[in-house]
Structure 1
Amino acid sequence: MKKILLGAVLYVITAPFCLAQVKWQNVDSLYGSIPSSVHVFTTTDLIDGKPNIAYYVIADLKDRKLNFKTDTTYQRRFTPQQFYDKNQQPLLVVNGTFFDFATNRNLNAVIKDGKLVSYNVHTTALKGKDTLMYMHTFRSAIGINKKRKADVAWLYTDSSKKHAFASQEVYGPVKDSFPIVQHKIKSIKYTYRLHSELYKRRFQKWKMQTAIAGGPVLVQESTVKVTNNEERMFTGKAIDDKHPRTAMGYTADGKLIILVVQGRIPGIAEGASLTHLAKLLLDLGCVEALNLDGGGSSCMLVNGKETIKPSDKEGQRAVPGVFMITTD
């Protein structure tokens, strides 16, 4: 077990980080009627010396007039605008989960009204010299429970179970010869016996009312820690590539942060790396935060109006899952 854990390297920023703290401007007035517990901010300050456009929404989790929700599709995708129209025009719609373009399959967990309606893909078949071997990963999610407390955790999900199971400690990836991860006797474990005790200790029922998954985690315990290797998200130095981004986190005083960064528009908005994204979230006060699907999927609507400009030339990309804020 020690050998397995040593194989997963946590990406922690310890050296001086080349990103000055950006200045944000309140733009509530551009987005119509907004509750006093919600605010919209934007910045055009440079990121690492490159042009940048970013927006974030901050919402008070304790405001009972705000409802935090998700929606998802099955084997099809909708644009954020279509989700907006479908859900009686919520205050906020933002893209969330990753997906398979060929099948429209959602690749991440979604919890809607307390029910697990979409599941993480935990197993990938390996190739080449590792044929007949499998890689198991546990990707991250952000959830909000009935008491309006937010949490970022790493999930195990099973379509035969009502609840997701979560670990507050990052774990994996694990390579073995077993094609599935099994759930047995009230605890999570692989069929491979050496893993069973770890799952008993780490994974517990995650009773969230709303949750959406993606990855990797960007901020833990008010520190920039990118768990890209453990979640097996982006290969090589891809975490340093600049792209449009979507991310979410929460602060110690119960505020939810939803951040989007425009990108892939040379000379106007270059995008952000995962480490840039993590630093932005940390500077906004997040104690925990994670990355969601980015690139051409990144899009956030406030009262139906776009914040960043989507990078696809066709405009908003259809996606299988979104996070929303509605008002009573």
Structure 2
Amino acid sequence: KRRLTPGEFYQKNERALAVINTTFFSFQTHQNLNLVIKDKKLVGYNIHSLPGRGKDTLTWRHPLGSAIGIFKNRTADIAWTYTDSSRKRAFAVQTPVSLIKDSNAVLKKVQLKKIRFSKWKPVAAVGGGPVLVQNGEIRISNNEEWKFAGKAIDDKHPRSAMGYTADGKLVLLVVQGRMPGLAEGASLTQLAQMLKEIGCTEAMNLDGGGSSCLIINGKETIKPSDKEGQRAVPGVFVIVRRES
């Protein structure tokens, strides 16, 4: 699958107002690693397992991935989603579920919890993670999703995020970074604080680093951290003008 820069996605859509990068992806296959829903159709799936860093036999399991969806009535929702390429729809739950780790480790204590999934039917949705704000409060699900787990939550990088407010406003946020003395970037905690202060009821992190880019009316809002400029990505979230 071919990747394009956010600027190229903007040029492809005559009615585009804003374009923000979204999902994490593989540089090798150019494949999205998160859910993508376009025109009510599930076109991208959560990748459920990835090899542990530096290990050949260890597999981290990610049963659920966080995503933000926009519905027909123009409301938004952030949920933890389950996708399967054999199914046409995503299923969602409103609380994170801790990861499962496949290894030879002996579990001394096991806690089982019943969760209820429901069909999730947004018109458009993109995955990322972790969730940063829930019910108007900072609630970072980095350990449950195994994204930036542990101390990685404090690392400063360029960031992209989406959220929504109680009165129905959609929030797109990017933070410039990796430019010593000019813009250091933000930690996930700092990003969550910003989104809470803006008034987000719910908000989530998207792919960051060199991928972070937000274009409004054809212009970059931050300077991308890659020397080459905007990074080509497999997918973006586009806000378009209403058809007259």
Structure 1 gap segments, 5+ residues each: 1-74, 178-193
Alpha-carbon separation, structure 1, partners of 2:198 and 2:233: 27
Q: 1:202 to 1:244 in 2, by over 3 A?
A: same
Cα contact 2:159–2:206 (8 A) shared by 1: yes
Query: Which runs of structure 2 are paired with 1:70-149 in the superposition (5 Å)?
Result: 75-126=1-52, 131=57, 135-149=61-75
Distance 2:60 2:222 in 1: 38
TM value normalised by structure 1: 0.68
> Which of 200, 210, 214 in structure 2 is aligned with 1:300?
214
Structure 1 residue 230: deviation in Å?
0.5
SS of equivalent residue, structure 1 residue 155: strand
1:173 matches 2:102? no
Conserved 8 A contact 1:126-1:135:
no
State the Cα distance separating 1:130 from its structure 2 match. 8.7
Per the TM alignment, residue 95 of structure 1 is displaced from its structure 2 partner at its CA by: 0.3
Correspondences of 1:108-257 after superposition (within 5 Å):
108-126=34-52, 131=57, 135-176=61-102, 198=114, 201-257=115-171
Offset at residue 151 of structure 1 (A): 0.3
Secondary structure of the residue that 2:16 maps to in structure 1? coil
Distance in 2 between residues matched to 1:268 and 1:232, nearest whole Å = 30
Distance 1:170 1:257 in 2: 22
Give the % identical residues.
Answer: 64
Given residue 155 of structure 1, which amino acid in structure 2 is its aligned partner? T
Q: For residue 89 of structure 2, what is the amino acid of its counterpart?
A: H
Deviations 1:204-256 (A, max 9, x none): 11010010110000001111011000001114411101111000100111111
Normalized against structure 2, the TM-score is what? 0.90
Is the contact made by 1:89 and 1:303 (CA closer than 8 Å) also made in structure 2?
no
Runs (4+) of structure 1 exceeding 4 A deviation are: 125-130
What is the match of residue 107 of structure 2?
A: none
What secondary structure is seen at the aligned counterpart in 1 of 2:203? strand
Find the structure with the greater CA-based Rg: 1
Distance in 2, matches of 1:104 and 1:205, equals 28
- Give a deviation string over 1:84-140, Cα, whole Å, max 9, x none: 112225000010000111221110111101111101111234588993765233110
CA contact (8 A) 1:260 1:298 kept: yes
Decide whether the 8 Å contact of 2:143 with 2:150 is kept in 1: no
In the alignment, structure 2 segments of 5+ residues that lack a partner are: 104-110
The Cα offsets for residues 1-26 of structure 1, whole Å up to 9 and x where unpaired, read as xxxxxxxxxxxxxxxxxxxxxxxxxx
- State the distance in 2 between where 1:89 and 1:274 align: 32
Equivalent position SS for 1:171:
coil
Give CA deviations for 1:288-314 in whole Å, capped at 9, x if unaligned: 000000000000111111101111110
Change (3 A) 1:214 1:248: same
Offset of residue 175 of structure 1 = 2.5
Equivalent residue of 1:229, what SS?
Answer: helix
In angstroms, what is the RMSD of aligned CA positions? 2.0
Distance in 2, Cα, partners of 1:220 & 1:82? 33
Which residue pairs with 2:201 in the alignment?
A: 287
Q: How many angstroms apart in 2 are the aligned matches of 1:118 and 1:106?
A: 6
Structure 1 residues 281 and 176, CA gap change in structure 2 (3 angstroms): same
Determine if contact 2:60/2:99 at 8 Å carries over to the other structure.
no
How many residues get paired? Answer: 235
